[in-house]
Chains A and B, each alone.
Chain A
């Protein structure tokens, strides 16, 4: 204890500063600074002919508000996120209930269920492109055989089905995520309330509705939050599978920002659209966290 201090206290391991310094500096330089840079960029108007940028703070934001493609994209983003989330949640919970048993062999099945999670999303997009292919795709051909699909209206080439086609890929990849979390939730449930309920004559369905669901509500909220945020910033599947098409039928907000960036090189406006995604995610997530009291 009597050791003479060679360094000021804030440089020793007693102080949080040295511990937090690497993470904090990296996050500021490559995380916070780019967001501020984006904001600053969004205050400039780009002249496509001269490629010069002029400081006009409200130009891009006014353009954003009046841009119908943005509103379409917001609508598509919400449709995509909510539909995918609902399907994944219902499937995830059902499959978790199915696999939640100590019987022989189910451990292997649970492990196999996790495999889709490690497939790169770009590769997932490719897998489904292959199966959807209108001439030799196995899904398309099966649907032709069942008369559910016509070769003249390919899944991803038709405006009304393209978004669903992309959602199915997302559902395939991320339902296992829900299954795993729901399984953890089910395993952590206390046994006594269920025993009491069955003594009182409750059916399996009743104890699911009145016991399982309420006791799982915190975990369900958490899973919905994490998955929901990822869904709002969806990019990979759309980029690989449809590239926002046909037309703009599958253009989510992130995809639109990408399109503006790659196709028109209007960086200030692309930044504005990207920031709109950030605002949408932050607002939606904050409301959700407040309403459902999610804690980390």
Chain B
């Protein structure tokens, strides 16, 4: 065998191994979600494949069956047994509402600002960009405590609208910077031509330039959605009864033990939308992650 062929095979083997290492935790989690409770908590050995698959965990967390209905003959007692304590349906709904609304809000208003920053030259534009960028670097913890008070006074605490605003706030800097980089890609002559034909600035934005960056807007929206869907700290501080999925999952860890079956079922379900979305925007991913600094 020649050296080049060997190198080529070695590269495949090493690459697949590396990817395998990175996929393993997800695969293990997904596998745990279909294991019966006796296989998850086996103290003598780690059960890998030799178990009878069960979908009980999904029935409880995603379809809302009662824990007692599915575990009546289980000998393991732990966790809370309150009605619906492991029902993730409400959390999934809340997460969806919050992610969709905050994505829409952040993308829409960032589009306007990004267009102005890309097309209208005005004094202080550079300073404004820096302010936006510094917002991206702001640790959420620095605003969370006052936000709790402000939200309480405005009646926004523990409401969907409250978290929608909070997520929009965090998403704006990212969305704005990415969208500006997409607007910057469109030659300014396009605007000039449209305006010579009598279009106003807004018509020029809405009817000419916006359709040209559709792909970029979609990629931005996907990143905003993923951020909102996975966000933890703001949702944790700003809510008590409304729970987003990541916060809900952490409530399955109790002082009497962690319900790994339910945790892994709801966790696996929570990963799926992100998987689908990220595969759709592979082309613009790097630009999104670097807030437009690297164009691919």
Contacts and interface: CB of A to CB of B under 8 A. Distances in A.
A166 interface: no
Q: Which of B22, B246, B292 has the most CB of A within 10 A?
A: B22
A254 B32 CA distance: 32
Interface string A35-74: 1011001000000000000000000000000000000000
The SS class assigned to the B binding surface is helix
A30 B230 contact: no
B141 A257 contact: yes
Contact of A282 (B129, B137, B260, B267): B137
Interface in A115-142: 115-124, 126-131, 135-138, 141
A226 interface: yes
Interface in B82-133: 109-110, 112-113, 115-117, 120, 122, 125, 128-129, 131-133
Contact of A19 (B120, B250, B270): B120
A118 B226 contact: yes
A76 interface: no
B263 interface: yes
A222 B201 contact: no
Interface in B280-296: 282, 285-286, 289-294, 296
B224 interface: no
B15 interface: yes
Q: How large is the interface on A (under 10, 10 to 19, 20 to 34, 35 or more residues)?
A: 35 or more
Contact of A270 (B22, B134, B145, B285): B145
A38 B142 contact: yes
Contact of A240 (B11, B250, B279, B282): B250
Contact of A119 (B26, B45, B201): B26
Contact of B110 (A12, A23, A35, A112): A23
Given A13-B205, A222-B290, A120 B16 contact: no
Interface string B263-276: 11001001100110
A215 interface: no
A295 B23 contact: no
Interface string A210-234: 0000000001001100100100110
Contacts of B150: 30, 33-34, 37
A123 B40 contact: no
B98 to A, nearest CB: 13
A50 to B, nearest CB: 19
Interface string B180-203: 000000000000000000001110
A111 B32 CA distance: 24
A122 B142 contact: no
